[in-house]
Each structure stands twice: as C-alpha cells, then as structure tokens.
Amino acid sequence: MTTTHTEVLRSLVALSRELGLPERDAVILAEGNTSARVDDHTFLLKASGFSLATADERSFVEMRTDAVLDLIERPPATDAELARALLACRAADGPRPSTEAALHALALTLGEATFVGHSHPTAVNAVLCSKHAAAVAAGTLFPDHVVVCGHPLFVPYVDPGVPLGAAVRDAMQSHLELHGAPPKLVYLENHGIVALGRSPAEVLQVTAMAVKAARILLGTFSSGGPQFLKHSEEERIDTRPDEQYRRELLARA
C-alpha cells in the first residue's frame, strides 16, 4: 500500500467519522457514504452497510474509476447484475461497494472533487421532502451561503444507484455549461445532499452551510417566503477577491 493511499484513507476515515457525529444530525445507522480520489484511476468508497460514525480502514473499498463510470453508459439490467458489476469494479478485494458508487465517481471526475460526502441532514431533507424542494437551489440567501456553497445544483428524484448517477451526470454537464465550474453542493430531491470538496474540511463546511441555509429557508416559509439575493449580488460575492481569498483559506483549513 503506497503512502499516498494510506494518507488518503486516513483522511477519509476522519471525514466519515466527523460527518457521522450524532450532533451533526446528517446521518444515522448506515446512512450516507463518502469517497476520496486516490489517483486518476482509482478512488476509495465507503462500503455498503458500514456506519460513517464508526468507520475505520476496513469500512472502505478501492474502486476502478473508469469501470464505475462505464456502468452509467451501459447500466446493468437488474439489481442482481448491478451488485455483481460493482464487485467487478473493485481494484482489490474488499467489502461490497455502496450502490452510490456511480454518484461518487462522477463527483470525483466531472465534479473535480478530491473528497465527497453524501449525507441526509434532517434540516435539509425537511425541505427536500416537501412540495417546495426545488427552493433549496432557487437562489442563495446570504453572502456566506455563496462563498461556501457557490451555485448549488438541484436534481429531481431518481432511483438511487446507476439511474441517479446518470441524472447527476446530465445535470452537472448543464451546470458546467452555465457556470463554467462544477457545483460544490448537489441537492437530491427526497434523498439528501452531495458535498464536493478539495479537502475533507471543505466537504464538512459545505455540508454545514447547507444545513444552516435549509434552516433559514424553513424559517422564511413562515415569514412570507424567501428573499433570495439578486443574481448580480451573487456574482459580486462569488468573484470578490476578498471572498475568494477567504474561500481558499477555508478549503485548506
């Protein structure tokens, strides 16, 4: 095992345990999953059935990136075939991969992330499971929302697994064409969020800010509805040198 692999795995375990802390209210039991890019060919992924809160080195499996992405282009016909195909995508022996392997492979390639955290925060899902789900990405609410989360992406409900991976791929490509950069935060209707980061710290920051924004958004529903920042105001904050500097410092925290 290379030093790089060991360091990435150690960081991923720490990220997973932090994301799984009960006080974060982001996951319970074996909910959610995390991943990290090892190199251009492989990534580490939390295995199915393991808890983020108690994750250790045995909770992860190394996956071949191209093989997982190929499942989106040629999806298995049945759930049983998908289970066998995911096992075949492993770069080495290990536990059964999460069914969300395709989602993570996309976030680590098209999404340009180094670490990814997929969770189901209660406050965020209170909106995502409502009739107003799309409001989470209809605009940003306050300056730090822009600084930390950028331009969030909303994806209507799709069956988890390869179908969700295909939907996120299409939505992310459209987002790239519109904004010139991948999203830092993906909202999945009736499901949860995906936080994309260059570091474990950035994943946790995006997740925490998504939770704060959801709580504020829920509060606005009882006060006449949200007052989103204007597009020009969002762009001003997003491109201000001082905010870009602060964003870089936060990502390296």
What is the DSSP annotation of 48-100?
TT--STT--GGGEEEEEHHHHHHHHHS--SSHHHHHHHHHHTBSSS-SPBPTT
Q: What is the pLDDT of residue 3?
A: 55
Half-sphere exposure of 229 (CA within 13 A, CB side): 20
Please give the model's pTM, rounded to 2 decimal places.
0.94
CA-angle at 118, arms to 214 and 186, nearest 5°: 55
pLDDT tens series, the chain, 253 aa: 455 889 999 999 999 999 999 999 999 999 999 999 999 999 999 999 999 999 999 999 999 999 999 999 999 888 899 999 999 999 989 999 999 999 999 999 999 999 999 999 999 999 999 999 999 999 999 999 999 999 999 999 999 999 999 999 999 999 999 999 999 999 999 999 999 999 999 999 999 999 999 999 999 999 999 999 998 888 888 888 877 777 777 777 6
How many H-runs (helices) and E-runs (strands) does the chain carry?
A: 10, 7
Return the structure tokens found at 53: 């809160």
Q: If you write DSSP's letter for every residue of 2-22 in order, what string do you get?
A: -HHHHHHHHHHHHHHHHHT-G
Contacts (Cβ under 8 Å, ≥6 apart) of 180: none
**Structural domain span for residue 167:** 3-251
Q: What is the pLDDT of residue 2?
A: 54
Q: Tally the domains of the chain.
A: 1
The DSSP output letter for 204 is H
Residue found by looking up tokens 């289970």 in the block: 83
**Per-residue pLDDT tens digits for 86-119:** 999 999 899 999 999 999 999 999 999 999 999 9
Q: What is the pLDDT of residue 77?
A: 82
Cα 168–chain centre separation: 11
Please state at what angle helix 200-220 crosses helix 3-19, rounded to 10 degrees. Answer: 20
**CATH number of the CATH domain containing 113:** 3.40.225.10
Strand 192-197 with 115-119, pairing: antiparallel
User: What are residue 224's DSSP bridge partners?
Assistant: none
3-state helix, strand, coil in the chain (%, to 5): 50, 15, 35
**Per-residue pLDDT tens digits for 200-230:** 999 999 999 999 999 999 999 999 999 999 9
End-to-end Cα distance, the chain: 27
Residue 215: Cβ within 10 Å count: 15
> What is the Cα Rg of the chain in Å?
18
